[in-house]
Amino acid sequence: MRLTKYIVALGCAALLGACSATVSSDDDEDASSELSSSSKRKSSSSTSDKKSSSSNSSDKKSSAEEKDSVNSSSSKEDGKSSSSTEELDEDCIGESGKPWDGTTAKTFACGAGTKLSPYIILTAEQLAKLAFVIGANDENYQGKYYKLGADIILNKGEIIDNKGALVADSTKLHKWTPIGNSNICFTGIFDGDNHIISGMFINTTSTHNGLFGNSNGTIQNIVVKNSWATGGNATAGVLGNLKGSGILKEATNKASIIGTGNITGGVVGNYESECCNKVGTIEYTENHGFVTGAKTVGGIIGNATNIKITNAKNFNEITGISGTGGIAGSLGSNSILISAENTGKISGKEQTAGIVGYMGHWLSCSTNKKQAILKGAQNKGSIEGQKYTAGIIGKSECTANTKIANESPIIGTSYTAGLIGSADNSSIESAYNVGDIFGDIYVGGIIGYNEVGVSQSIYSTGKVDGDSLVGLMIGYNYNTTMADYYYLEQGEQEPFGLNNSGGVATPKSEKEMKSSDFAELLGEDFVYDSGLNNGYPILSWEHEE
């Protein structure tokens, strides 16, 4: 059965349980303004485990402008929190900094579970209490406010090495029970206050695994590091399954994730939209951990439909079999991804890409459902796959893609390209490829196989090598409208392997392409900087970083 049909069936599967949502996501902002804002914001945890000197409380607006303001004053250092225990209510109980003893506390440190007085968690035992009361679906603790007051150590010592391998003696580790499970969601607001959860160990064949197992509440400002999670469907470092109108923001994974099931992610395993009537929100997330799974494996999220993801970055290796991406394994119809970057190595067999393995849905256009939208994406990681392998999207059906770029080599077999391996009823605007492409059949600098679409303001400079239907721009092209399509002259090699009822592409010399005039020719989304991208034009949002 084709992967796309599998994902659609899974979206409403009873496997993922049922929880009633209590938290609503913010209204969608204009995609252009979000991309512009996100390009100005620096990652707060890409080089070290840092903590913000001004914490983001759960009642703040989630607009990109406010996020820029909040994070401009960030100066996080590992082990130096913005909220020390001395600043907490003197009546708070619990000694922070100690490893978990495997027990559950009787009470939280202090607080009333309200917005003004959240339950404060200082110890691992108190965090275990949260897992216990949510797992028991205790109504006294659902829908409440929680906040970390210190870093939490679930197991002491080195759990994984710098290659992500488990080095601790697993027989001596305390096993973590996720907060929420397949039948019970966390429905409250959890603010990690930029603290670090370390030493988490999960080793199970069951579903819904991570620090949190299942949530349709709000989880924010949290880092999971030096941890290991092995589990079935919906396994990740921070959250196994996000549901309904749930929100996850300011979350970073630095744990090793091993998925034995079909949905695995670095930060989030799966998003469940409750069959298309709600939209989840994921904002400002990063993955630095090794992630390995089978079907639908992503650095940020394994699988989602009806999701809005903004500012997502992957820095490490992602390995899967089918549907593998640096950001997402699969994003279905009515999904929006804005500002995504991958620098990690991505490896798979079918539908492998730097950003999304599979995106869209084959029924979306024919049934008037919304397209999947990708705006602002860049791949700098090497990509190795077989069928449907590309820098940005492995296989695309009914998607709209703008301001995307690939700068790394792509190695595949069939349907291999710099941007999209196979594009059906999809559009690309303002894009480029400078990576070399290697495949067998349907191989292109921009698209491997292209059918019924629109492409404009695009250029490619990379070498393209293959056996059949190979083009410097598109391997096979059918019935596509094109404008401002340019490629670097490379001897007698043609821009199209086969062009059937398609457009035309214009050759340019290296000197012509490395100029401000060429950037102007491409349009306002491009800028020229001789010191960047080996002198070739880049997208304006890249320059603003």
Query: pLDDT tens digit string along 161-194?
Result: 999 999 999 999 999 999 999 999 999 999 999 9
The pLDDT, as a whole number, for residue 501 is: 81
Burial grade of 152 (CB within 10 A; 0-12, 13-18, 19 or more):
buried
Q: What is the pLDDT of residue 87?
A: 59
- Reported confidence tier of residue 83, pLDDT bands at 50, 70, 90: very low
Tokens, residue 191: 């603010």
pLDDT (0 to 100) of residue 36: 55
Spell out the domain ranges in the chain: 1-316, 346-357+367-392+408-545
Give the pLDDT score at 368: 54
What percent of the chain is helix, strand and coil (3-state, nearest 5)?
A: 10, 40, 45
Q: 3-class secondary structure for 304-322?
A: ECCEEEEEEEECCCEECCE
Residue range 406-447, pLDDT digits in tens: 999 999 999 999 999 999 999 999 999 999 999 999 999 999
pLDDT at 363 over 90: no
pLDDT given at position 278: 82
Residue 361: pLDDT band (50, 70, 90) is: confident
CB 454 within 8 A of CB 485: no
pLDDT in tens, 198-211: 999 999 999 999 99
Backbone φ and ψ for 228, nearest 5 degrees, come out as: -140, 130
Residues 259, 137: Cα–Cα separation, whole Å: 26
Answer whether residue 74 shows pLDDT above 60: no
Residue scoring higher pLDDT (24 or 90): 90
- Residue 274 is predicted with a pLDDT of 75
**Per-residue H/E/C for 435-502:** CCEECCEEEECCEEEEEEEEEEEEEECCCEECCEEEECCEEEEEEEEEEEEEEECCCCCCCEEEEECC
The predicted-structure confidence for 101-128, as pLDDT tens digits, reads as follows: 999 999 999 999 999 999 999 999 999 9
Give the percent of the chain with pLDDT over 90: 78
Average pLDDT over residues 509-517: 98
φ and ψ at residue 73, rounded to 5 degrees: -100, 15
**Angle (nearest 5°) at CA 449 between 444 and 450:** 110
8 Å CB contact between 55 and 28: no
pLDDT over 80 (residue 89): no
Q: For residue range 215-258, what is the model confidence (pLDDT) as tens digits?
A: 999 999 999 999 999 999 999 999 999 999 999 999 999 999 99
Position with higher pLDDT, 87 vs 229? 229
Beta bridge partners, 482, equal 455
pLDDT tens digit string along 441-470?
Answer: 999 999 999 998 899 999 999 999 999 999
Across the range 302-321, mean pLDDT stands at: 98
The maximal CA–CA distance of the chain, rounded, in angstroms, is: 78
Tracing tokens 């090699």 back to the chain, one arrives at 493
Q: How far apart are CA 379 and CA 404, in angstroms?
A: 8
Give me the chain's average pLDDT, please.
87
What pLDDT score does 62 carry? 39
pLDDT at residue 86 in the model: 42
- Tokens 């991309």 locate to 35
Most confident of 16-25, 32-41, 80-89, 249-258: 249-258
Contacts of 491-497 with CB under 8 Å at 24 or more apart are 493/464, 495/471, 496/471, 497/442, 497/443, 497/444, 497/466, 497/468, 497/469, 497/470, 497/471
pTM for the predicted model, two decimal places = 0.87
Confidence of residue 366 (pLDDT cuts 50, 70, 90): low
The answer to whether 255 touches 289, Cβ cutoff 8 Å, is yes
Question: pLDDT at position 80, please?
Answer: 38
Q: What is residue 370's predicted lDDT score, i.e. its pLDDT?
A: 74
> Is 17 strand, coil or helix?
coil
